[in-house]
């Protein structure tokens, strides 16, 4: 467990001995879940942050009709619920469900506060997690605010290219996840990707994309 936590951003800069010592101060709980178990449900009060020790979870919106939108998948060593635990609206905006058999390390709010007050490195890392989450949210809002699907795809691919520092790169999202990320139907996404490929803007093979004509993608944002 300590070796996994060493890879978590929350404990960045701490060695295993320091992490073990810190856990003695903040007190934690370990919970195990079977595949497809509900960890937290939408509108449930958030009183803990969670670190994934094993398995994976999905952050979902489940509609009354039974339709499900998966917003994000998180894996080993990743943290969730850090963005809402201190909010005045400290209710989960999504449902958290396990994708595989999963083990979580839970830290209650009062224990987390104790750790943040007494360990500056933990405080700095926690603020970094919040800043990262805000950056991701702003990036998604920028994409969703665009008026057409082609503009959304162009912005997404240009942002990925900028982060990877290359015009040829792998994306972490499959077509289903990408369509959910862009808030569009999967068939519409596939049609538009193929159309952009025929126009010579991009090329792709499954999850590997190449920006063929960067200027054309940029021009799409001003049409």
Q: What is the DSSP letter of 91?
A: B
Look up the CATH architecture of domain 145-220: Orthogonal Bundle (1.10)
Lowest mean pLDDT among 100-104, 143-147, 210-214: 143-147
Question: pTM higher than 0.75, yes or no?
Answer: yes
Query: How far is 20 from 4, CA to CA, in rounded Å?
Result: 12
pLDDT for position 26: 86
Q: For the chain, what is the mean pLDDT?
A: 93
Kindly report, residue by residue over 48-84, the tens digit of the pLDDT.
Answer: 999 999 999 999 998 888 888 888 889 999 999 999 9
Domain regions of the chain by residue span:
2-134, 145-220
Kindly report, residue by residue over 150-206, the tens digit of the pLDDT.
Answer: 999 999 999 999 999 999 999 988 998 899 889 899 999 999 999 999 999 999 999
H helical segments located in the chain: 2-5, 16-26, 109-118, 120-144, 149-164, 175-181, 186-198, 214-220
Say which residues have a Cβ less than 8 Å from residue 108's Cβ, sequence separation at least 6. 27, 29, 47, 48
Burial 173-183 (b: 16+ CB within 10 A, else e): beeebbbbbbe
Q: Which of 2, 61, 55 is nearest to 32 (CA)?
A: 55
Look up the CATH architecture of domain 2-134: Sandwich (2.60)
DSSP 25-45: HH--EEEEE-TT-EEE-TT-B
């Amino acid at each position: 467990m300590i070796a996994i936590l060493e890879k978590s951003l929350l404990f960045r800069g701490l060695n295993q001995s320091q992490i073990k010592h810190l856990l003695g101060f903040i007190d934690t709980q370990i919970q195990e879940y079977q595949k497809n178990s509900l960890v937290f449900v939408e509108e449930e009060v958030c009183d803990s942050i969670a670190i994934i020790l094993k398995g994976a979870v999905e952050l979902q919106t489940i509609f009354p009709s039974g339709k499900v939108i998966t917003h994000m998948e998180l894996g080993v060593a990743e943290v969730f619920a850090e963005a809402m635990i201190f909010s005045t609206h400290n209710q989960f905006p999504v449902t958290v469900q396990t994708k595989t058999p999963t083990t979580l390390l839970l830290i209650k709010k009062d224990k987390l506060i104790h750790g943040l007050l007494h360990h500056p490195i933990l405080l700095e890392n926690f603020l970094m997690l919040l800043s990262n989450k805000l950056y991701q949210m702003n990036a998604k809002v920028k994409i969703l605010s665009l008026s057409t699907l082609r503009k959304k795809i162009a912005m997404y691919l240009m942002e990925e290219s900028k982060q990877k520092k290359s015009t040829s790169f792998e994306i972490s999202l499959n077509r289903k996840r990408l369509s959910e990320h862009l808030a569009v139907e999967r068939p519409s996404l596939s049609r538009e990707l193929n159309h952009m490929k025929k126009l010579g803007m991009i090329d792709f093979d499954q999850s590997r994309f190449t920006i063929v004509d960067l200027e054309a993608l940029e021009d799409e944002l001003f049409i």
